[in-house]
Amino acid sequence: MYNNIDFNNKTILITGGAGFIGSNLAFYFQETFPESKIIIFDCFRNEEVFSNGNLKSFGHYKNLIDFKGEVICGDINVQNDLKLLNSYKFDYIFHQAAISDTRVYDQKIIMKTNVNSFYDLLEIAKKDESVMVYASSAATYGNLPSPQTVGQENPENPYGYSKYIMDQIAIRYSIENPDMTIVGLRFFNVYGPREYYKGNTSSMVIQLGHQILDGKAPRLFTNSNQIFRDFIYIYDVVQANIKACAPKQNGTYNVGTGIPRNFQEIADILQNELDTDIGTEYFPNPYDGYQMNTKADISSTRENLGFKPKFSLEKGIKAYIPEILRLHGTDTS
């Protein structure tokens, strides 16, 4: 337990609950608060793809095997689907549903899915007097130098912009509705169990892990020991969501470790854990203006949410290894 909120007998909505972070939240509640009533709302995947070849949504039933709560297949863009939520009164809403692929450039569909639906969910939260915790993103910062700090944003793709606009909406809504609890969490690079079905948008931890298990040298951009990210293990992200339910004040908060690590270190920790020594294969970074360093400024997250990340990269990867092994060679469809 991360704080003293008792979620037993509470009604909890998790949008995007068939995805990576949402399904981990669902299992956290199921295991820690067996009397909680958990409702997952997710459109699940179909076979449609964006022009980048990736699926339009990544929700997968395999993330929910053993989940005993309610599951509703619905689209947050469709009013009639949202009406299915009218028969509940939610105490907590964890809004994770989104187009989470940062390399989708169809601005219309991103803005519709990530932004318009947020107004609807805020209205539900207002009507039900629910606590609203929603997923924002480090992509709101674009290529600004680290440490990334709330209040200094410069999104450089439609996804980052959509999250930035959600944060502005949340701030306005908080001012207009001072009794509501509304917290946005800007996740940095999350890794851990139940991300596998995101395919090539899953973290480099599992992708490199599977390359190594295939007997291949992990493939990294040239100079990967100089490309830093703030990698955060899924359990710390769950912790942040729970702590966000009792904030000292509403707002937008970074969720990272505050300790940037480089991609070479991921490959090296994996090889150490998997007991291999097959070197690294380098190839040129094809992206212009690539972000070279992220480091979340988590001072306000510590102060106002009481957030304390517990997983170093070494500890997170170690905890993740059994799942990386289990999924190796299985398909993502």
Q: Is 98 in the site for ligand NAD (CB under 6 A)?
A: yes
> Which among 28, 159, 164, 191 is annotated as catalytic?
159
Q: Which residue is nearest to ligand NAD (CB)?
A: 19
In the bound complex, what is the minimum distance in angstroms from residue 4's beta carbon to ligand NAD? 26
Summarize the chain as % helix, strand, coil (round to 5): 40, 15, 45
**Angle in degrees, 0-180, between the axes of helices 204-213 and 263-274, rounded to the nearest 10:** 40
Catalytic, 320? Answer no
Whether cis (ω within 30° of 0) applies to the bond prior to 147 is yes
Which residue, among 229, 191, 197, 228, has the nearest Cα to 209 in the 3D structure? Answer: 191
User: What are the beta bridge partners of residue 132?
Assistant: 93, 182
Nearer to ligand NAD, 185 or 217 (CB): 185
273, 317 Cβ separation under 8 angstroms: yes
In the complex with ligand NAD, which residue's Cβ is closer, 95 or 210? 95
Nearer of residues 217 and 256 to ligand NAD, judged by Cβ: 256
CA–CA distance, 240 with 238 (Å, rounded to integer): 5
Minimal CA–CA distance to 323: which of 235, 217, 229, 256?
A: 235
Query: In one letter, which amino acid is 42?
Result: D
Choose which of 14, 97, 121, 212 interacts with ligand NAD (CB under 6 A). 97
Residue 40 lies near ligand NAD (rule: CB under 6 A): no
Smallest gap, in angstroms, from Cβ of residue 190 to ligand NAD? 3
From 91-99, 239-247, 264-272, 284-292, give the range in contact with ligand NAD by CB under 6 A: 91-99
Query: Which 148-177 positions form the footprint of ligand NAD (CB under 6 A)?
Result: none
Other C-beta atoms within 10 Å of 123: how many? 12
Q: Which of 12, 14, 21, 150 binds ligand NAD (CB under 6 A)?
A: 21
- 90: region left, alpha or beta (phi > 0 left; psi from -120 to 50 alpha): beta
Q: 196-215: which residues touch ligand NAD (CB under 6 A)?
A: 198
Per-residue interface string for the shown chain with ligand NAD, residues 67-86, x marking contact by CB under 6 A: --------xxx---------
207: tokens are 């992708």
Closer to ligand NAD by CB, 217 or 243: give it: 243
Residue with tokens 């979620």: 7
Q: Is the distance from CB of 138 to CB of 187 less than 8 angstroms?
A: yes
The backbone torsions φ and ψ at residue 220, rounded to the nearest 5 degrees and listed phi first, read -130, 155
Least Cβ distance, residue 48 to ligand NAD (angstroms): 11
Q: Which of 10, 37, 198, 243 is catalytic?
A: 198
Q: How many residues bind ligand NAD (CB under 6 A)?
A: 28
Residue 19 in the binding site for ligand NAD (CB under 6 A): yes
Q: Phi then psi for 88, rounded to 5 degrees?
A: -110, 165
Q: Least distance in Å: CB of 278 to ligand NAD?
A: 27
Name the residues that contact ligand NAD, by CB under 6 A: 16, 18-22, 42-44, 57-59, 75-77, 96-100, 113, 135, 137-138, 187, 189-190, 198
Catalytic residue numbers, as ranges: 159, 198
